[in-house]
Amino acid sequence: MENRNAMELFKARWAEGKFVCVGLDSEYAKLPESVKASGNVGEAIITFNKAIVDATKDLVCAYKPNSAFYEAQGPVGLLALKATVEYINQVAPGVPVILDAKRADIGNTNNGYVTFAFDWLGVDAITVHPYLGKEALKPFLDRVDKMIIVLARTSNPGAGEFQDLKVDGTPMYQIVAKQVATQWNTNGNCAVVAGATYPEELGEIRKLVGDLPLLIPGIGKQGGDLEKAVHNGRDSRKQGMIINNSSGVLFASMGPDFAQAAQAVAQKMHNDITIFNQQ
């Protein structure tokens, strides 16, 4: 755990041609019955996550658990999340873990979020929203060894309600992306979220942020176009992409073969990205 640098971990995975991020959104109600039978709620989540990690760890550039699915289970869920992070660090120490928590508050409150995510859970990166500005996010940005991933253009259908609002003719999501790249990235540890469900906007963001890493959600059940995501999201080195698929990988099968099915989806996604990135 010590001396881990998130950006270096990501760069090493990208150098191997790995851009798939598996979202460990392990909602207990959706777990296969064979897994639920393996123990209580916390034990079942851990069993499921371990199997997914074992099946996909050689294919991915990152794992991204969304904290909501663990918080929903109370203390046992949070302990399952911590056990999952520890397991990834144990069996796949070169694979960074992103906590998808979309945090941000006033600075003092953010100190608590930082301590929870980085010091207690031990994750390498976290998603945050920009609404309170750079000053409030300083506790996150000051963690030079971690990656701070700022929401710019999200993948949900209603994203444009605020993100498309124009300020002096420029959409808000573009202002956020450029601000992060030019003003917030002092420590070289920033990235931005740009959804695959909006490929044109994704391309605009890539132009604005240069080689800043992009977390690209929206592949799989949300219907994002993987080929467009690669062509519009890659940086000048054909790297810099964290392309996420959550439920499409996790719940590819509801039978005892769920891990093998997850591996097959992740493998196809990896293969497709490799082909698209050569075009």
Question: Which residue in 102, 134, 138, 228 is the catalytic one?
Answer: 102
Is 102 tagged catalytic? yes
The bridge status of strand 241-245 relative to strand 60-63 is unpaired
Q: Hey, what amino acid is at 279? A: Q
Which among 109, 94, 108, 198 is positioned nearest to 151, based on CA atoms? 198
Decide if 184 contacts 141 (C-beta within 8 A).
Answer: yes
Question: What angle is formed at CA 153 by the lines to CA 58 and CA 229, rounded to 5 degrees?
Answer: 45
Report the C-alpha gap between 64 and 244 in whole angstroms: 8
Report the C-alpha gap between 140 and 190 in whole angstroms: 10
Enter the tokens of residue 238: 């054909």
Residues identified as active-site: 102
